[in-house]
Structure 1
Amino acid sequence: MAKFINPFTDIGFKRIFGQEISKPLIIDFLNSLMEGEEHIEDITFLDKEQPALYEDDRSLIYDIYCRTERGHNIIVEMQNKSQPYFKNRSIYYVSEAIARQGERGSSWQYAIDAVYLVAFLNFSPIDFDKKFRTDVTLTDKETHKMFSDKVRMTFMQLPLFDKEADNCDNDFDKWIYVLKNMETLTRLPWAAKSSVFQRLEQIADVASLTKRERMKYDEGLRKYRDTLSVLEGAKQDGLAEGRALGHAMGHAEGLAEGRAEGRAEGRAEGRAEGRQEGLAEGRQEGRQEGRQEGLAEGRAEGANSEKQDTVNRLLAAGTSIDVIAIATGLSKEEVEKLIK
């Protein structure tokens, strides 16, 4: 059995941050969050809840509404499930808190107080950068100077916080480590040296719950675990559908790539075979042409040789060139060339 309550349940979250006895805890956490920017001395819990956009919002999103001594309104919420239009929803919640400050009549001059949203996200939204903390303010796009300090939103993606206790070197890191791992801890680190974490250890101890509080906590824990189970089931269904779709798409892409590669290889092989066949045919034709030319040349050379012999015999018999030309059918010039 866990020693400390689960802060991701409604009862656990509000017990740690949303009651008068735990006021020093939320003040310490907010000061560690905004260290170097603001320092909060005191807060007042306001009995307000942000409007639920979906039927199951109240079981998935828990919020605490408080005001600082300087009049800044702070909404601290724990969210266990990503929702459609998540960024727009966050802007809407902050806008609602601002709009509720409006007063009727011309005397009101839009004297609004700042509204801060501090959101613990027990998931990583798809459209968020993959980093643990995101701070959103109204700034000039070109100069990056603050345009207005009336709106601020801080989102903490708890799954992306990967520090161990030994690596937490500031109070903010210590807070996130404890909240993320509280249900699995048997003792809280730093409680011996920090009055804040010592008080947190006392408030978050399951043994400190009354019987009525324990019943409500157990019910809230059951709802939280049921929610995680449903979300995991939906995730697995989505993974299965995604794998099936990816397999089908991969098969189609593989066919297309295979056909393209086949065409390319076919063209290359066809060219190579064509070259070999062309070379073979060319050699064959060349041999045939060579034979024909050789035969023709041979015949011509044979005929010339016979004429040469005939001319030589006639000359030896004392026959004149004119008679030799008539006897061989050669011209006088051709006979003279053979004599030479």
Structure 2
Amino acid sequence: MDIYNENRRFISILSDYGFKATFGNEADTTFLKKALQALIDSSIPIKLVEFVKNDISAITIDSRSGIYDIACVDENENHFIVEMQLSEYPEFIQRMKFYVLHRFNTLVKKGEYKFENLPRIYCIGILAKSIFSQITDYHNIAILRNSKNETIDDQMSFVTVELDKFKKKQTEVTTDLDKLIYTMQNLHKVTETSQFPTFWNEDWLKKAISELDIRNMTPEQKLAYEMAISANALAVKNESKKIQEAREAENLAVKTETIMNALSMELTLEQSAKLANVSIDFVLSVQKQLTGE
């Protein structure tokens, strides 16, 4: 997913800069309020959103995968944690549980360990890659239920959006959630406003798109965006290096095990080297490990 391209007019919401400029825009929360309402599938508009310090990490960049975390509270004391995940993360739901339980414990402590009237906590994960192979829906909300699908407790909600499962065309987009996801997937591909779908003229999306229009940027904003691109490129390079090193280590382990098995079967040094496709010197080094020399 190419979300960083200096030649495009609009910055992707999925990028570090784009996510902070929209979801994390403290100066204007119009987009955030509407997006949260859509993500939690609520018919009740959110009137006020106040950003709060995330007790685990505030609005931060995860250099390994380009993640921004935001935490906020609405006028009814509902707590929201929103996290974007671009790279593959099969265990992402475990991470969500960690954040929610940490926030739950924080609220209990602040209430002097009282459990009544606790505010609701919504942990929202927006994922570029799917994590639920057995679930076809791109949007899921999970609460505590019994085997008969009866609600046990809804104080904590886990909301996931798997972007790669969203296949709707522009003409099929009707709900605010679909408008949000479609915008995430396609804004950075558009070059001119004449290509805008009609719903991009809605106030909440229009304001977000304006923040992502490179032509509207001040010199300071452009500098911040270029620094984000640079940081992302470095992160990708470091991640690629780690992957390559891991592959090399795995390949070395396989070859070493192959040689050990070959030598235990009393194959010659030459035969072992040929079997593992390595040099005689490498076979000798493995033989020394086996003999403890």
Q: Same fold (TM over 0.5)?
A: yes
Partner of 1:57 in structure 2?
A: 62
Q: Deviations over 1:278-311 (max 9, x none)?
A: xxxxxxxxxxxxxxxxxxxxxxxxxxxxxxxxxx
The alpha-carbon deviation at position 124 of structure 1 amounts to 2.1
* Amino acid across the alignment from 1:57: D
Once the two structures are superposed, the pairs formed by residues 326-337 of structure 1 within 5 Å of their partners are none
Comparing both chains, which one has the higher relative contact order based on Cα–Cα distances under 8 Å and sequence gaps of 6 or more? 2
Instruction: Kindly indicate whether the alpha-carbon contact (under 8 Å) linking 1:190 and 1:197 is maintained by their aligned counterparts in 2.
Output: no
Equivalent of 2:35, from 29, 38, 43?
A: 29
Instruction: Kindly indicate whether the alpha-carbon contact (under 8 Å) linking 1:132 and 1:156 is maintained by their aligned counterparts in 2.
Output: yes
CA distance in 2, matches of 1:11, 1:62: 9
- Give % identity: 21
CA distance 1:6–1:125, change in 2 (3 Å): same
TM-score by length of 2: 0.69
Query: How many residue pairs end up in the alignment?
Result: 240
- 1:71 maps to 2:81: no
User: Can you give the 5+ residue segments of structure 2 that lack an aligned partner in the other structure?
Assistant: 1-6, 255-293
For 2:14, what is the secondary structure of its paired residue?
A: coil
For 2:142, what is the secondary structure of its paired residue?
A: strand
Partner of 1:124 in structure 2?
A: 130
CA distance in 1, matches of 2:110, 2:162: 39
Partner of 2:222 in structure 1?
A: 214
The CA RMSD measured in Å over matched residues stands at 3.3
* Amino acid across the alignment from 1:155: T
Instruction: Kindly indicate whether the alpha-carbon contact (under 8 Å) linking 1:40 and 1:68 is maintained by their aligned counterparts in 2.
Output: no
Partner of 1:198 in structure 2?
A: 206
Partner of 2:179 in structure 1?
A: 174
The alpha-carbon deviation at position 127 of structure 1 amounts to 6.2
Equivalent of 2:119, from 94, 113, 120?
A: 113
Q: Deviations over 1:126-149 (max 9, x none)?
A: 766454222211112x33122112
CA distance in 2, matches of 1:198, 1:204: 10
Instruction: Kindly indicate whether the alpha-carbon contact (under 8 Å) linking 1:124 and 1:130 is maintained by their aligned counterparts in 2.
Output: no
Once the two structures are superposed, the pairs formed by residues 222-301 of structure 1 within 5 Å of their partners are 222-228=230-236
Equivalent of 2:150, from 145, 149, 155?
A: 145
- 1:102 maps to 2:112: no
Q: Deviations over 1:204-228 (max 9, x none)?
A: 2112222222112112123334545
Partner of 1:282 in structure 2?
A: none
Partner of 2:164 in structure 1?
A: 159
For 1:11, what is the secondary structure of its paired residue?
A: helix
| Runs of 4+ off more than 6 Å | 104-107, 232-242
Instruction: Kindly indicate whether the alpha-carbon contact (under 8 Å) linking 2:71 and 2:81 is maintained by their aligned counterparts in 1.
Output: yes
For 1:22, what is the secondary structure of its paired residue?
A: coil
TM-score by length of 1: 0.60
Instruction: Kindly indicate whether the alpha-carbon contact (under 8 Å) linking 1:50 and 1:63 is maintained by their aligned counterparts in 2.
Output: no
CA distance 1:43–1:79, change in 2 (3 Å): farther
The structure with the largest alpha-carbon Rg is: 1
CA distance in 1, matches of 2:133, 2:116: 33
CA distance in 1, matches of 2:142, 2:113: 32
Instruction: Kindly indicate whether the alpha-carbon contact (under 8 Å) linking 2:8 and 2:189 is maintained by their aligned counterparts in 1.
Output: yes
Instruction: Kindly indicate whether the alpha-carbon contact (under 8 Å) linking 1:79 and 1:122 is maintained by their aligned counterparts in 2.
Output: yes
Instruction: Kindly indicate whether the alpha-carbon contact (under 8 Å) linking 1:33 and 1:172 is maintained by their aligned counterparts in 2.
Output: yes
Once the two structures are superposed, the pairs formed by residues 303-314 of structure 1 within 5 Å of their partners are none
CA distance in 2, matches of 1:207, 1:19: 18
For 2:198, what is the secondary structure of its paired residue?
A: coil
User: Can you give the 5+ residue segments of structure 1 that lack an aligned partner in the other structure?
Assistant: 249-340
- 1:133 maps to 2:139: yes
Partner of 1:47 in structure 2?
A: 52
Partner of 2:290 in structure 1?
A: none
